[in-house]
Structure 1
């Protein structure tokens, strides 16, 4: 058995070095090695290796398992009494979290009685109490070791030793993150694979075996939900838990913070990769409806943050929002998820213009640099700089142009193509604009992979585009994205619903691909819902996504068409079947806000009374369209008005209703009535 364990053992060179040094003594003797790490990290395997090396060195080894003894001082002292009289003894205590309550007694009473030369190794999930290091005596005799996942080369060596085919290594490493237990279980399944697959996924048996070992006992269903939030979200904060768990947020956040497999970052908490993947896979299989519900709550929370956060918090919110869709096809292939850690975004000041122009010339050529100079002089506020968090160096920039009227066509072939495409579809309506991601430039010095444009800088470029679209609201008609590596990005961007513009503009020696999206036909929120359905469509109890990948598009009406539709709808207001066929029923005004056309019209009619001089208009509209009177002459007679006066009041009321509803169509539900 020991020979088989030795053959399967890889890595842990640093930990073995620490133990060997402690075993042999030296100028700075170590009495206690405190080994801690999450479940599945290989602590027991390492202790067995320690035991073998200690015995080989002629030391007497005593092994205690915290699962197998009563967690009392008396029981522990009885089990370990032989080490108190043997200066060559090595005491190995495994699964110490099961008797963590003994830590103070062990430190202050038992271990202080050990003879000089004895060595103790304690292995558990929790790190040592701070009183170990605050005591000057123990500070010199204690060595704390945090056990982490195997390094990629070590994990690969383990898979090779187990005979796992090379084609499956990447998938197994992505799932396990180098966690030894997960590697062992996954390798056992992969060894039996005879189908030549490369898209390995953990089986239900692997997940069911792995989870209890990784996370231990979970106190309540509320704590379990907090774990699931932590697994699904990129980073977990107390405010995020509050959006899902309400008043339980404070208690569960403190509990998460103390778990050995949960790490703390500047912006929040995150679990180890294998724990995240195991929890996600388990919830998707065990409770698909609960998984979909959780996804929806988090999606709404982050979407609201994108729209309302100050600019400094805008991109982290987008990154968190996009991370919810990481299981979707292509998403993880085109985002590194390292952008926020390595970079930050700043405004482009006049002193930075020369750097932007020089970087454009270096990456895209002198003709593009001239275009960048043109837009810096017209829309300097459109530019944002990507700066390194290490030294503040500018390593990239992006520009988001906001265009309400055609200009720049003579100076920029990309914008010329954008306007030509926009004119060929539904024209811009008053108050609407185009958004163009004109530049997404990464410095050549920053490139991590010369064969791929993917880098953390690209993360920020993407996230800024999403933020600009979300914060633009309903006034954004079309968005366009100009990309040089169009063929590389096409699978990803078209999977998100963007369409490729047929004409390909050329600037100098470069040809660009334009990707466009009409946000009037499917606003961002319904776009996100569609992405959710596509991602969840393989789960039971979740409706399948349409084969086209797109919902029925909204109707885009210009102002004369809109006014005509309002008048037609008022005429059939009491006939629901005819009202349902009105174009307004498929407009943003109705669909995006989930309200009935009948209710929108009656609310607009009622609002006339609140306007200055609106009572007369309200009476004329109500009597005409809500009272069921057969002719306008009879309505005028009923109101006791001359026919010409009645027609003037009615026309004024309908015109005010058209104006109010048009403002909502263009500017959203918050527009003034």
Structure 2
């Protein structure tokens, strides 16, 4: 047996080995060449070698094998979860992390790799890169869910095509229909290194990618919204409990489908199964009244319906709708009590129905969350969004993290109580909502985020607005009074600031 390890370091000898050296070995000799670069196409183009060659990609250890490795290395039970979260199934990362935590008496369930561990893994997994631009391209690839050439161009306008071509040839970068992505542990060490080494550079890179993805969400066609929102959420995967309610692993396992009239019976039946008859009656009512509000989620292999959601768009209260669905009646009551709608505005009410096995973290809930956020970020003149949640829903605390709060009265549908998690998009519009997520991310997992740029926006009725204008006109010569006016906190002022007056 002949074993050649780290063959990428002598890759230039590949042709010589194939054409001259290996053919001279005795019959029956076994040759194993391990490297980070796959063999070139000439091996399979040659019929003789095509029959003798076997290429075996080495994948990560499975969850059971990774846990067994940590157990064999003497890692305490409470330390295995953070180690697995960091290293996944990568044997080198697991072994290095195990060697560190078993000697660290202060290690806890909140363990994160120290910089010496990160540096060692960077050297072993990534090595030297040709230039700072190539390093930046790697960092973009690590931060984004998937990297495309146009995303790379937004962050690194120079030589984006060449850098993308370089990325796709790296042994630890894989391709998917949506773009490129690195191995999990490579992603983690690149992220950790940049955040520690250059916090400002990390923040600047994040904001560029975040702005690009936010623009994509606004401009995307309906079929592309889910992917755009999923990519945006992935930037914030380490914030709060986001990782607990996103699987990130079910790409292709389920798909979103549009509602068709023949689906109504199946939706009503599922609503009765997962909730109650009153919920089923509300679904029957709304599928006839707002069929476009419904999205269905099916298993790719079988087409089986495993969940559905609705986002109802409501412009004015209706006795018929309130009688058919107490949840919408409660949403209207809460909006009127806190900050009523103004002419031309609407409120939206979101509902979710899924089979028990898909509740919590699942590919189905990934898509439902992304559809909900996509609706909120793209809606025109939406005043309030309300998400109806049952008391046993595990996502209730998670929604608070995204500035959606249980305010006002609860609704009852049959014998089930629903809290309405609300957000006033006039007081905290989309840019402020996205900025809040950025501040949470950039503050780090155990720090308080930086303060927002200003107080929440004022939501004034027509009468309140007119009164504020009359008061401001009376105080035109008194800057302090004008500064205290509620008009300064309205969107008409904050989104269209006046230019700085010229100096006399």
TM bin (shorter chain): over 0.9
Write the distance in 2 (CA, Å) between the matches of 1:155 and 1:488: 28
The aligned residue for residue 337 of structure 1 is 248
The aligned residue for residue 222 of structure 1 is 133
Write the distance in 1 (CA, Å) between the matches of 2:337 and 2:283: 26
Write the distance in 1 (CA, Å) between the matches of 2:477 and 2:234: 46
The one of 494, 510, 525 aligned to 2:400: 494
The aligned residue for residue 398 of structure 1 is 309
Deviates further, 387-396 or 170-179: 387-396
TM-score (norm 1): 0.71
Q: Secondary structure at the match of 1:585?
A: helix
Cα deviation, 1:547-596, whole Å, max 9, x if unaligned, reads xx8962111111122233344445655764443222221112222x3x42
The one of 388, 413, 420 aligned to 1:482: 388
Cα deviation, 1:312-334, whole Å, max 9, x if unaligned, reads 10010000111111110111011
Write the distance in 2 (CA, Å) between the matches of 1:384 and 1:551: 37
The aligned residue for residue 321 of structure 1 is 232
Q: Secondary structure at the match of 1:337?
A: coil
RMSD of equivalent CA atoms: 2.1
Residues 570 and 103 (structure 1), Cα distance of their counterparts in 2 relative to 1, 3 Å cut: farther
- Are 2:365 and 1:464 aligned? no
Q: Secondary structure at the match of 1:226?
A: helix
How far 1:543 moved relative to its partner? 8.9
Cα deviation, 1:61-110, whole Å, max 9, x if unaligned, reads xxxxxxxxxxxxxxxxxxxxxxxxxxxxx221111111111111211122
Deviates further, 554-563 or 312-321: 554-563
How far 1:525 moved relative to its partner? 1.5
2:210–2:235 CA contact under 8 A, matched in 1 = yes
The aligned residue for residue 352 of structure 2 is 440
Residues 485 and 512 (structure 1), Cα distance of their counterparts in 2 relative to 1, 3 Å cut: same
Matches within 5 A, 1:17-416: 90-195=1-106, 197-338=108-249, 340-407=251-318, 408-416=321-329
1:175–1:277 CA contact under 8 A, matched in 2 = yes
Q: Secondary structure at the match of 1:409?
A: helix
Cα deviation, 1:195-222, whole Å, max 9, x if unaligned, reads 3611111111100111111112211111
Residues 92 and 574 (structure 1), Cα distance of their counterparts in 2 relative to 1, 3 Å cut: farther
Write the distance in 1 (CA, Å) between the matches of 2:312 and 2:86: 40
- Are 2:454 and 1:536 aligned? no
Residues 570 and 99 (structure 1), Cα distance of their counterparts in 2 relative to 1, 3 Å cut: farther
Residues 543 and 500 (structure 1), Cα distance of their counterparts in 2 relative to 1, 3 Å cut: closer
Instruction: Give the number of equivalent residue pairs.
Output: 499
1:486–1:512 CA contact under 8 A, matched in 2 = no
Matches within 5 A, 1:549-628: 552-569=455-472, 576-591=479-494, 593=495, 595-596=496-497, 598-599=498-499
How far 1:301 moved relative to its partner? 0.8
How far 1:411 moved relative to its partner? 1.2
Residues 486 and 528 (structure 1), Cα distance of their counterparts in 2 relative to 1, 3 Å cut: farther
Q: Secondary structure at the match of 1:478?
A: strand
1:382–1:400 CA contact under 8 A, matched in 2 = yes
Residues 588 and 486 (structure 1), Cα distance of their counterparts in 2 relative to 1, 3 Å cut: farther
How far 1:342 moved relative to its partner? 1.8
Write the distance in 2 (CA, Å) between the matches of 1:513 and 1:564: 35
Write the distance in 2 (CA, Å) between the matches of 1:375 and 1:587: 35
Residues 146 and 580 (structure 1), Cα distance of their counterparts in 2 relative to 1, 3 Å cut: same
Write the distance in 2 (CA, Å) between the matches of 1:346 and 1:399: 12
How far 1:252 moved relative to its partner? 0.9
2:245–2:360 CA contact under 8 A, matched in 1 = no
Cα deviation, 1:217-269, whole Å, max 9, x if unaligned, reads 21111111111111111111111111111142111111110111111111111
The one of 484, 507, 514 aligned to 2:420: 514
Write the distance in 1 (CA, Å) between the matches of 2:83 and 2:155: 32
Write the distance in 2 (CA, Å) between the matches of 1:232 and 1:225: 11
How far 1:425 moved relative to its partner? 1.3
Q: Secondary structure at the match of 2:322?
A: coil
Write the distance in 2 (CA, Å) between the matches of 1:345 and 1:488: 22
Q: Secondary structure at the match of 2:54?
A: strand
Write the distance in 2 (CA, Å) between the matches of 1:275 and 1:383: 39
Q: Secondary structure at the match of 2:369?
A: helix
TM-score (norm 2): 0.94
The aligned residue for residue 331 of structure 2 is 418
How far 1:544 moved relative to its partner? 4.2
1:342–1:389 CA contact under 8 A, matched in 2 = yes
1:211–1:279 CA contact under 8 A, matched in 2 = yes
Residues 574 and 258 (structure 1), Cα distance of their counterparts in 2 relative to 1, 3 Å cut: farther
How far 1:111 moved relative to its partner? 1.2
The aligned residue for residue 46 of structure 1 is none
Write the distance in 2 (CA, Å) between the matches of 1:202 and 1:306: 34
Cα deviation, 1:364-405, whole Å, max 9, x if unaligned, reads 121111010011111111001112222332221100000000
The aligned residue for residue 450 of structure 2 is 545
Cα deviation, 1:583-638, whole Å, max 9, x if unaligned, reads 221112222x3x42x449x9xxxxxxxxxxxxxxxxxxxxxxxxxxxxxxxxxxxx
Question: Which consecutive residues of structure 1, in runs of 5 or more, have no partner in the other structure?
Answer: 1-89, 603-673
Matches within 5 A, 1:593-672: 593=495, 595-596=496-497, 598-599=498-499
Write the distance in 1 (CA, Å) between the matches of 2:399 and 2:392: 9
How far 1:454 moved relative to its partner? 2.8
1:482–1:515 CA contact under 8 A, matched in 2 = yes
2:272–2:280 CA contact under 8 A, matched in 1 = yes
1:530–1:551 CA contact under 8 A, matched in 2 = no
Q: Secondary structure at the match of 2:128?
A: coil
